[in-house]
Every structure is written in structure tokens, then in C-alpha cells.
Amino acid sequence: FYYSLQDQFDNLEKHTQWGIDVLEKYIKFVKERTEIELSYAKQLRNLSKKYQPKKNSKEEEEYRYTSTRAFLATLNEMNDYAGQHEVISENMTSLITGELTRYVQELKQERKSHFHDGRKAQQHIETCWKQLEASKRRFERDCKEADRAQQYFEKMDADINVTKADVEKARQQAQLRHQMAEDSKAEYSSTLQKFNSEQHEHYYTHIPNIFQKIQEMEERRIVRIGESMKTFAEVDRQVIPIIGKCLDEITKAAESVDQKNDSQMVIEAFKSGFEPPGDIDFEDFTQPMKRTVSESSLSNSRGDGKSEPKFGSKSKGKLWPFIKKNKLMSLLTSPHQPPPPPPASASPSAVPNGPQSPKQQKEPLSHRFNEFMTSKPKIHCFRSLKRGGAGPEDFSNLPPEQRRKKLQQKVDELNRDIQKEMDQRDALTKMKDVYIKNPQMGDAASVDHRLAELGQNIEKLRLEVQKFEGWLAEVEGRLPARTEQPRRQSGVYEAQNPSGVNSCAQDRESPDGSYTEEQSQETEMKVPATDFDDEFDDEEPLPTIGTCKALYTFEGQNEGTISVAEGEMLYVIEEDKGDGWTRIRRNEDEEGYVPTSYVEVYLDKNAKGA
């Protein structure tokens, strides 16, 4: 087909160069596609890694639920999904970019060779044409010279005045010119035949062959780019089943989400085992008698600084697990005794707020609930637990159900440790037997010390297992029903049983020396360092509502109070609620109650938190 373009040699050369440019452009396109695939895969992997749970963190515990496990499976499948895009990039690089780059280099060399042959053939035919033209001009010149010589001879022969010698000489010259013309004619004829043969060979053999090779080269290029485009699609199609499998796994993980199972896991994780609180007794304020609070009430008797234990026939419910811990401890740590009067040197009129020595009176139950919802005191006991590290060894600071789980986990952990130690002991025993049978392999006495250590370790671990199993049996024995009615302890009981009172119990002692919770539940009132401390640390401090200036020096010796020096400026975080106490803060870690009559308060509703 390209034979018909033999007179368009230059245009054909430009077209083939354009074909190579198209191929190089396609290579560049595929290369950029592979870079996009790699970048996309990298971003997917980074995204999956970003949302993976961190090891040994609280997040890792959250992935036990079916919904979070499904999300984790999605992240893993997205990682595999990214891997398939990396496969696309690798295959396109090797099967298309690399192959086409090599082919382009070969194509350029082949094209260069073909057009070099074409130019060489063109130059050869042009040379033959020049030779023919030269022979033709020589023949024409010799013919003209022969005619002139012949005419001169005839002129000389007709002239009678010319000598015979001159005529002979003119005749010989004419013959010579005729001979030269004949020779030029023969040469021209030979050159013409040769040129015609070369021209026929050029246009019917050499040029068609060269053009045929160029056509085949161009068709191979076209076929190659088409195959590359087909490979481009096949590379994508090959990973579709695997990508589909990844998506199927994501769908399967989503279908595995079980809301009932997750709800049950939440129940198992946070179930305390406590019973609901009992009914609150009716308090009759119409009777002129001293107010008495029932066992299940949240408020304390504060008439004369003593507490009267009450016993009921019903099982006493524990109310505190159902109330936010910091609200409860606010009641436990707030001073409820009358504040001391100002120093005698100052008159009541000198106190800006007036004498604040209110009579001790019983507060309605609604007021006590308001204190639950509004007060946020510093919980020194829980803070000290946080700084002190771990809780009790028997996990008695946990609710019964949580304690049972912790004890069971501890028993299982100790049993695993025992099994490891026993496996090591068995291995060392076998090694010792080998050493005894083959002394050249080692000294049997060298493992005796390690065997003794392992035996001691196993014995210690077994004792630990027995101890924790005893606690576990105790918890499991009383967990189904808790009907024992613990007694409310007073300051007198504390004096008689100092060993049974810990630092946390002291934090619950009110300024008048009475306790607000029973002694038998001291361990249950502790907050475990692992389960509850984070909630206290995340608690936002109370915002300041103003400032105050200390008018007198106050030595805060009772729990919940804070010492101030005369003239000191402090922040107010809670107004006097009628009991004669104002809650103030010195800095982030120091806050407490002072008598209202000891300070001059400047309220500012726009004040920010300290």
C-alpha cells in the first residue's frame, strides 16, 4: 500500500515520526497512571494504619465488640484493597511501560535504518540520472562538432583556392569528429539503457521493498499500542476478583455485627452485682421531734454531731453505684458542722457579709439531691488512690461482679504462669537426664540450681492461686444474694477499730467526726486505679464565680476545709447555701470550704475558670 506513496517519501517520514511520538505519549500516560495507583495505595494504607487500634491502649479493649471488630476487619480489608492497587501499578510498569519503552528504542533504530536505505536508493538513482545527462550532453556536443567539421570540409573541398593538403586535413578532421560522435552515441545509448534498468529496479524493486518494510514497521507499532491498551484493561480486570473478595469480606464483617451480643458484653463489662436501693422512708416534718433519716436516705443526721445507726428488716440497697461518684463524694467531704464565729476582735458589723453562723438545721431531701447535682469537690481519697498506684490485692475496691471477673482473670493468669514454669522444669529435667547419660554433653549438676528455683516459683504461684481462689469462692458464694444488713459506723467505732479504717475512710469523715457510710463497705467505696481514675482525671474543675479576700486567718483542720491567711485573695467556686460555708479555690490542686464570715466575697458571673 505504501508503494503508492513513493513520491511522498518525506511525508511518510514525518508520519512515522508522529507514530513514535504517539507511542511515547501513551507510555507517559501509563506511567502517570501507575504513579496515581501507588499514591492511592499509599494513602489507603496510611488511612488504615491511622485508624488501627494502638497496642496496649484502651482502644484495643474497645475492639472486642462485634461492631468495632467489623470496623477492624474493614481496615484490614482496605489494606488488602490497597495492595491490589499496588499490583496494578507493578503490572502496568512491567507489562506496558517497560515493554513499550524497549520497543520504542528498537522502533527508532528500525525506522532510521529503513529511511537510510530509502535515501541511499534515492541518491543512487539520482547519480545514475546525472551520468545519463552527462553522456547525453557529450553526445550532443560531439554531434554538433561533427556537423561543423563536415561543413568545413565541404567548404574547403569546393574552394579552388585551397590546397589539396588543406582539403585532406579538413576531410580527416571531419572523419574524426564523426567517429567521436559515433562513440558518444554508443556511450549515451549504453548509459541510457543502464539508467532505464536502474530506474526500473529503483521504482519497482528497491523502493517498494523499503516502503513495504516501513509499512510493516508502522503496522507493528499500531498493533503494539492496541495490545498495550488491551493489557491496560486486563491488568485492572485481573484484580477485580480479589477486590470483589475484599468487598465481600467487608460485607461479611458488617453482617456479623450483633447488637444483642454487644449489649450483653456491655452488661458483663460494667455489671456491679449491687442491688437497687430500698425505699426511702417518709420524713414527717409536722411532728416536733428530732428528724431521723432512714437507712436508705442519702442525708446524715446532723443534730448533735452524732449518728444513730438504724436497722431495718429489708435488705439495705446501695444507692451510690447508681450516682456519679464525684457527686456522692461531694456529700461525703463537704463540711456540715456550723462554721466557727469570726475572731472576737472584730465586730460583726465589720464583716462585709455579715455574721454567718447559721443554726444547724435539717435540710430537706431535695436540697441534698441538689448537692449531688451541683457540687464538685476535690476527692482527696480518690486522688491519693491514683497517685498511690494499684488498688488492694483482692480487688475489694471493685463491685462484686467486677471483682469476680478480676479474680478469675488473675487465677487464669497464675495458672498459665504455673504451666510455663512446669514446662521449663520438664525441659530442664530431660536435659539433666541427657547429661547424666552422656556426661560429655554437659554437667548435670549445672541445672540443679535452676530446677530448685523453678520448684520454688511453682510453689509460690500455687499458693497465690489458692489465695485468689479463696477470694473467688468467697465472692461467688455471696454474689447471688446480698441480704446481710451492714451497720452504719460512727466515730466511736473508728476509735475502737483503728485497723479497719483506711485513708479513704478518713476522707469521708465529716468535720463533726461522724461517718456517712458503713464501715463494712469501706472496701466497696474505694475506686480502683484502673477503672475509675480516668473519669476523675477527665472531670472539669468548677468554674469560678468570683473572688474573695480573707478577712481573718482560718486554720482548716477538718476534712473538706482549707486554711487561709488574712488578706489572701482566692477564687470563689460555690456560694454559701445557708449553712455558713463558702467554697473557694487557691489553685488547681487546692480548694475547700471556709466560714463565710471569714471572707469578703466579690461575685462576678463573667469570671472564667481558674
What's the rounded Cα separation, in Å, for the pair 129 and 225?
A: 42
Q: Can you give the CATH number for the domain in which 79 is found?
A: 1.20.1270.60
DSSP, collapsed to helix, strand or coil, labels residue 224 as helix
Q: Retrieve residue 567's grid coordinates.
A: 488578706
pLDDT at res. 359:
36
User: pLDDT (tens digit, 9 = 90+) per residue, 206-227?
Assistant: 888 888 898 899 999 999 999 9
Does residue 341 carry a pLDDT above 80? Answer: no
pLDDT reported for residue 540: 62
Residue 147, phi then psi, degrees to nearest 5 = -65, -45
What pLDDT was estimated at residue 511? 39
451 and 572 share one domain: no
Q: Indicate the average pLDDT of the chain.
A: 75
Looking at the domain assignment, is residue 526 inside a domain? no
- 129/198 Cα distance (integer angstroms): 9
- 93 lies in the same domain as 190: yes
Q: What is the pLDDT of residues 100-116, one digit of tens each?
A: 999 999 999 999 999 89
pLDDT value, residue 337: 59
Q: Are residues 77 and 208 in the same domain?
A: yes
For residue 492, what pLDDT band results from cuts at 50, 70 and 90?
Answer: very low
Same domain for 51 and 157, yes or no, is yes
Tens-place pLDDT, residues 305-330: 433 333 333 333 344 444 444 444 44
pLDDT tens readout for residues 24-41: 999 999 999 999 999 999
> Higher model confidence: residue 560 or residue 550?
550
76-101 pLDDT, tens digit per residue, is 999 999 999 999 999 999 999 999 99
Sign of CA dihedral 155, 156, 158, 161: positive
- Average pLDDT for 364-379: 42
Q: What is the pLDDT of residues 499-541, one digit of tens each?
A: 333 333 334 333 333 333 333 333 333 334 444 444 444 456 7
Q: Are residues 134 and 225 in the same domain?
A: yes
Residue 331: inside a domain: no
Q: What is the pLDDT of residue 158?
A: 84
Q: Which SS3 state, helix, strand or coil, does residue 592 take?
A: strand
Q: Is 325 domain-assigned?
A: no
Q: Is residue 242 part of a domain?
A: yes
Based on the fold, state whether residues 470 and 568 are members of the same structural domain. no
Domain that holds residue 572: 546-603
191, 70: one domain: yes
- Position with higher pLDDT, 360 vs 126: 126
Q: Does pLDDT of 296 surpass 50?
A: no
User: Pick from 476, 496, 528: which residue ends a domain?
Assistant: 476
pLDDT over 80 (residue 463): yes
Examine the domain organization and report whether 552 and 437 are in the same domain. Answer: no
Sorted by sequence, the CB contacts under 8 Å of residue 490 that are 6+ apart come out as 306, 307, 309, 514, 515
Q: Answer yes or no: do 550 and 461 share one domain.
A: no
Higher pLDDT, 443 or 299: 443
* Same domain, residue pair 208 and 65: yes
Q: Are 261 and 66 in contact (CB under 8 A)?
A: yes
What was the pLDDT predicted at 222?
A: 94
Work out the average pLDDT over 256-273.
Answer: 85
pLDDT digits (tens, 9 = 90+) for 567-599: 899 999 888 888 888 999 988 778 889 999 999
- Asked if the structure places residue 308 within a domain, the reply is no
Counting residues of the chain whose pLDDT is more than 90, the rounded percentage is 28
Nearest Cα neighbor of 382 from 270, 528, 511 is 528
Nearest to 479 by CA among 333, 273, 223, 173: 273
Q: Is residue 22 part of a domain?
A: yes
| Helix ranges restricted to H, 256-364 | 259-270, 325-333
Positive or negative torsion for Cα 4, 110, 107, 22: negative
Asked whether residue 454 falls in the same domain as residue 554, the answer is no
Residue 372 in domain:
no
**CATH (domain of 592):** 2.30.30.40
Average pLDDT (238-242) is 93
Domain count, the chain: 3
Return the DSSP state at 266: H
Give pLDDT tens digits for 406-448: 888 889 989 999 999 899 889 888 888 888 888 887 787 888 8
Would you place residue 247 in the very low, low, confident or very high pLDDT band (cuts 50, 70, 90)? very high
**Domain end position, chosen among 428, 447, 476:** 476
- Last-in-domain residue among 234, 265, 296: 265
Residue 408 inside a domain? The answer is yes
CB atoms inside a 10 Å sphere around CB 500:
13
* pLDDT per position as a tens digit, 2-26: 555 556 778 888 999 999 999 999 9
Query: Which residues are within 8 A (CB) of 444 and not within 5 positions of it... i.e. 6 or more apart?
Result: 432, 435, 436
Same domain, yes or no, for 470 and 559?
A: no
